[in-house]
Structure 1
Amino acid sequence: MAARTDPAPAPVEFTEAVRELLSVRWRPELAVEQMPAPQRIAPHSAAVTADVTQGEDEIGTGRLVLLHDPAGNAAWQGTFRLVTFARAEVDPEMVTDPVLAEVGWSWLVEALAERGAAYTEPSGTVTSVASHSFGALATDTSSARAEVEIRASWTPLVGPGQGLAAHCLAWGDLLCTAAGLPALPEGVVAMPKRRPTGPTR
């Protein structure tokens, strides 16, 4: 019977990157927690998931996966790769807008630029989805949904004075922008929208 071999310890660079990922001070609208990461894409990986909330409503969701290959990856042009998925409900009229895909991609690019996150080799897709109800559900307006999904990956350029925090914060901004929440100055907390309570007398 072959002896069991323990997996090689994670490189210091990856350990430090994970520590930075898990210590980010997220926007107050985000509920972020660590999740199991995919194991076969890269030798080392970590992941977090987030829900975007406003008051008691969940208005968006997403996940961020950190991949690391100490030997480097030709497709990445680096040793680290960030992979994200973001989904949020949007106004149904937005789904029919032909520029929605370009606008959705700009949310990521502008978020990275605003946070000063240097990167290379970006790629991704923006998908808009609308659902329509028929039959018994035709009169149920709550069953009609319109969503935008952003799937993207990029190689963060990390080094002295440039870690992953800026990329993580940019990802948080992407989720909030997709969900219709504006960017906030440091230290400012968004006020929840009030739900309609019916006619007043």
Structure 2
Amino acid sequence: MAVREETRPGAGAGGSPPDFIAAVAAMRAAPLRPEILCEEMPAPQRIAPHSFALSADVTVDEVDVGTGRIILLHDPAGNDAWQGTFRCVAYARADIDPELITDPMLGAVGWTWLTEALDAHGAQWTAASGTVTRVATESFGGMADEEGTAQVEIRASWTPVAPEAPLTGPPDLTPHVEAWGELLCTAVGLPPVPEGVATMPNRRGQRGR
């Protein structure tokens, strides 16, 4: 299951460190649910020496109900704030029932969608931080007949942890991308995949143009 690859500086092009190249390959290989359309996107170039990014839309009954992105940052020299040489930065936005917008637990629950997904997929991580934002839209005047809408936005970053000795090498980014995909699906209200059922390959880089 291959993501459409677009070689660019900092995205696994020639000259990138082997650990970064291996991490990017693991991200590209991560299986995601078929409701997710995933493709590569330009990654920020000024935050870290090397970066790679994926974007995704969640579609249910041919309607886009959620969107997100995950960015991998790598600084071979290390970063004290990251507590490591790699950092994942993720974003997820989903439509929700407008009645949920006033739920005082929405923020805390939204954050656990991420942390529980990371743990469920066996991702090793540390130093997580982020925000959960609720957005409500009401219409007035000539648009007063339109129903209100609500969305939840989750922004987070965390440090993927590399294998412990005697193993060596970069952190395995596959479970981190899988967890991000699960976060997107949970946020839009899709039921979890039953235990024992294999996740089918998702649509990669097949968006109509």
Q: How would you bin the TM-score normalised by the shorter chain?
A: 0.7 to 0.9
Task: Output the CA distance in 1 between the equivalents of 2:61 and 2:25.
Answer: 29
Q: Work out which of the residue numbers 169, 180, 187 in structure 2 matches 1:178.
A: 187
- Residue 138 of structure 1 corresponds to 144
- Residue 113 of structure 1 corresponds to 119
Assess if the C-alpha contact under 8 Å between 2:32 and 2:199 holds in 1: no
Higher relative contact order, structure no. (Cα contacts within 8 Å, ≥ 6 residues apart): 2
Shift of 1:188: 5.8
Assess if the C-alpha contact under 8 Å between 1:118 and 1:156 holds in 2: yes
Shift of 1:58: 0.7
- Residue 18 of structure 1 corresponds to 24
Assess if the C-alpha contact under 8 Å between 1:32 and 1:49 holds in 2: yes
Higher mean displacement: 129-138 or 177-186: 177-186
2:160 pairs with 1:149: no
Q: Work out which of the residue numbers 15, 34, 39 in structure 2 matches 1:28.
A: 34
Instruction: Give the 3 Å change call, closer, same or farther, for CA 79–104 of structure 1 in structure 2.
Output: same
Q: Work out which of the residue numbers 55, 58, 65 in structure 2 matches 1:59.
A: 65
Task: Output the CA distance in 1 between the equivalents of 2:145 and 2:185.
Answer: 30
| Residue identity matched to 1:157 | V
- Residue 86 of structure 1 corresponds to 92
Cα deviation 1:90-142 (Å, max 9, x = unaligned):
0001110111000000100110111111100000000000000000111122x
Which is higher, the Rg of structure 1 or of structure 2? 1
Higher mean displacement: 113-122 or 153-162: 153-162
TM-score (normalised: structure 2)? 0.83
- Matched-pair identity in %: 55
| Residue identity matched to 2:198 | G
2:198 pairs with 1:187: yes
Cα deviation 1:130-187 (Å, max 9, x = unaligned):
000000111122xx21000000000001224961111110000000000111210332
Say which SS state the counterpart of residue 14 (structure 1) adopts: helix
Shift of 1:26: 1.4
Say which SS state the counterpart of residue 176 (structure 1) adopts: helix
5+ residue gaps, structure 2, are: 1-8, 201-209
- Residue 175 of structure 2 corresponds to 166
Assess if the C-alpha contact under 8 Å between 2:88 and 2:157 holds in 1: yes
Instruction: Give the 3 Å change call, closer, same or farther, for CA 188–122 of structure 1 in structure 2.
Output: closer
- Residue 48 of structure 1 corresponds to 54
Higher mean displacement: 157-166 or 30-39: 157-166
Q: Work out which of the residue numbers 123, 129, 135 in structure 2 matches 1:129.
A: 135
Task: Output the CA distance in 2 between the equivalents of 1:9 and 1:88.
Answer: 37
TM-score (normalised: structure 1)? 0.86
Aligned residues: 182
Assess if the C-alpha contact under 8 Å between 1:158 and 1:164 holds in 2: no
Cα deviation 1:38-81 (Å, max 9, x = unaligned):
00000000000000011211110000000000000000000000
5+ residue gaps, structure 1, are: 1-5, 190-201
